[in-house]
Amino acid sequence: MKKSILLVATILVIIATLPIIGNSFIKKMIDARLVELKSYGLATKNDTSKSNYLHSFRHFEFTVQDSSKFLKYLNTFSDKQIPPFVNATLRGATVGMDVEYNNLPFAKGLSIEIYPLTLSDNIAQGMRDEDEAFYNYVEKFLALKGVLYHINYNMTSRDFDGYLKNIQESYILKDGTTLKLELNRAFFSGSGYLIAPDRLSMKIKKIDISIQNQMIQLQFNLEKFKSSSSFESVSTYLGSIDLKKIKFILKDKNENLSLTSQDTKINFSANTQGEKAEFNTKSSIKELKLLSSKENVEIKDFKYDIALNGIDKTSLERLRVLASKAKTNHQVNAEIVQAGIDILSHGLNINIPELSIKNITLNAAEDLKGFKIKSVLKIKEDKELASKINISPLSLIDDVDLHLNIKFSNEIYDKIMQGIPMTSSIASYANVDARDTIFDIIFSHGNLNINGKDLK
């Protein structure tokens, strides 16, 4: 009987101490992360915590103490070098973070909120000098967590989801300029490291940005934005963007410009798992309107599909590294040019299965119909390409094979001929039927053929 009681008591003690063990484990994990962040140029200004038996809360305030170190850290997660001027936007800025978690050891989730609290030193000083009242307004907005990311993170699976806090702000500057910003229902989810996830999806219902005074009106509106990206493997990347509506308006005393697009879709992929790299992008826009003081253009059903393949991976990686380090010195720029030439010297293919517009309307009255373009461009491997560029650039035409098929509506073709009279010299090569004007162009071994006729 005593043994049974002792066993039960032991089990109860173990259960009772589980939250204490769990809290200690997570605290040590967070502390280790803080030490790591310090080595990347962040300093902890504030670290406070609250705990009860089952739950713990911890508040941090970080400042970017060494912006160069922090940028170097961020660049390890990016294919593109973050511009050096970002230093000025980070140095001295303060960011708050709240972490809430369950103390039980088997609890997997963290609730994290991240929010900027103060501007960087340079930006704050410039804003204060320009308009101190606006500076005070922004500082109060940030102090009240006006910009906030909420993240739910699973420490075991590394899955996460969250949202950006809604924003609806307006302010009138001392010169009379009205600023408006609205961000509504922005959600995201993904998997992997938060700073560089393997998979990320985002949805935004609405973004509105407006700047207006007596001289100018500038407005940007985005509705129902969706995006997704994923690294299927180290060498395979997929991404997509879906936009219901984009609208851009610019008005001043000289110009009245409005650009609107409906139902924009973009898909892109990269594959470097084989001997050669491959890239592909497809896009479609249901409707695009450009309205200006001079002319109005309406485009329907725009599509393109472009693929690059056969790209030498070693040369491509060298170009990427050089581009990420590019500055204003001529030596690096010259190396970038040379790396680009090196890529071409290994040969590559550019295929355009489709580039088309179903219909173009000018000034709401002139119906030009549409066009379709297909193209296959092959640049042959040539180890002497660099020397040919310097000695005899014309000899490079032997390295290029092109098959280009263009089908214009007769209305568009007539418009081109009216606008560029010098094109009349190729009119005899055109293949014209009742609806379209066709040019089937083949360029190979330095010879140009249009619709079966050699160009003379």
So what's the pLDDT on residue 306? 96
CA 365 to chain centre: 37
Task: Please indicate, yes or no, if residue 427 is contained in any of the structural domains.
Answer: yes
Task: Please indicate, yes or no, if residue 35 is contained in any of the structural domains.
Answer: no
Task: Locate 403 and state its tokens.
Answer: 């098959």
Q: Which helix (H) or strand (E) holds 153?
A: strand 149-154
So what's the pLDDT on residue 170? 94
Task: Please indicate, yes or no, if residue 394 is contained in any of the structural domains.
Answer: yes
Task: Please indicate, yes or no, if residue 382 is contained in any of the structural domains.
Answer: yes
Contact 357, 299 (CB under 8 A): yes
So what's the pLDDT on residue 436? 93
Total number of domains constituting the chain: 1
**What's the pTM?**
0.81
Task: Please indicate, yes or no, if residue 52 is contained in any of the structural domains.
Answer: no
Helix%, strand%, coil% for the chain, nearest 5: 30, 50, 20
Task: Please indicate, yes or no, if residue 402 is contained in any of the structural domains.
Answer: yes
Q: Side chain identity at 293, as an amino acid letter?
A: S
Task: Locate 121 and state its tokens.
Answer: 């030193």
Burial letters 189-220, b for 16+ CB under 10 A, else e = bbbeeeeebebbbbbbebbbebebeeeeeebe
- Determine the 3-state secondary structure of 66 from DSSP: coil
Distance (Å, whole) CA 145 – CA 15: 38
Where in the sequence is the domain holding 442, given as residue range(s)? 311-456
Task: Please indicate, yes or no, if residue 143 is contained in any of the structural domains.
Answer: no
So what's the pLDDT on residue 89? 62
Distance (Å, whole) CA 6 – CA 1: 9
So what's the pLDDT on residue 3? 40
- Which residues are paired to 148 by β-bridges? none
Task: Please indicate, yes or no, if residue 357 is contained in any of the structural domains.
Answer: yes
So what's the pLDDT on residue 186? 92
Query: Per residue of the chain (456 residues), what is the pLDDT tens digit?
Result: 444 444 333 433 333 343 444 445 555 666 666 666 666 667 778 878 776 655 778 888 888 777 666 666 566 555 555 555 555 566 778 888 888 877 655 556 778 888 888 888 888 888 888 889 999 999 999 999 998 989 888 877 888 899 999 999 999 988 889 999 999 999 999 988 776 788 889 999 999 999 998 888 999 999 999 999 887 666 788 899 999 999 999 888 777 889 999 999 999 999 888 788 999 999 999 999 999 888 899 999 999 999 999 999 888 888 877 776 655 455 567 778 888 889 888 999 999 999 999 999 998 889 999 999 999 999 999 888 888 788 877 778 888 999 999 999 999 988 888 877 655 677 788 898 889 999 999 998 888 899 988 876
Helices (DSSP H) in 43-186: which residue ranges? 67-75, 86-90, 121-130, 132-143
